């Protein structure tokens, strides 16, 4: 991910330089003092979230990560309703329940399903080399 993000930053810099907008970008950052701090905080949050995502997938597997993202999405929706004082209709509640119940059921069925044995790699099944005939 480091190399992908690094290459992305380089491509963005090249595009800004090619468009001749670098002076505008720097003057905008200088005129809006909190902009640079906000960008730094956003970048730190993005980098740390990538670290935690990869750590969770490595330690617990993709299924645990998918379940975590489902819970995060439900909490995010509910917090948004509460924060912005939006009214939630009964039909929206039903929709949320149906979607997340289906996602939970899929995750649960994958956890409780019997584990399948991994197949032997194809390279281990290579036939013996044909013998040369004279």
Q: How far apart are CA 53 and CA 47, in angstroms?
A: 10
pLDDT per residue over 10-34, tens digit each? 999 999 999 999 999 999 999 998 9
Summarize pLDDT for 96-119 with one digit per residue, the tens.
889 888 888 887 887 777 776 656
The span from the CA of 67 to the CA of 108, in Å, is: 9
Check: CB of residue 56 under 8 Å from CB of residue 65.
yes
10 Å CB burial of residue 103 (0-12, 13-18, 19+) is middle
Does 134 score more than 60 pLDDT? Answer: no
| CA pair distance 103, 63, nearest whole angstrom | 11
């Amino acid at each position: 991910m480091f190399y992908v993000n690094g290459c992305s930053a380089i491509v963005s810099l090249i595009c800004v330089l090619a468009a001749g907008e670098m002076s505008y970008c720097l003057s905008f950052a200088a005129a809006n003092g909190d902009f640079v701090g906000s960008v730094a905080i956003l970048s730190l949050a993005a980098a740390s979230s990538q670290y935690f995502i990869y750590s969770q997938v490595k330690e617990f597997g993709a299924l645990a990560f998918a379940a975590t993202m489902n819970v995060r999405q439900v909490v995010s929706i509910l917090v948004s309703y509460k924060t912005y004082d939006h009214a939630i209709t009964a039909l929206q509640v039903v929709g949320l329940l149906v979607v997340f119940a289906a996602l939970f059921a899929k995750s649960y069925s994958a956890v409780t399903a019997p584990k399948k044995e991994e197949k032997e790699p194809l390279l281990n099944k290579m036939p013996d080399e044909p013998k040369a005939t004279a």
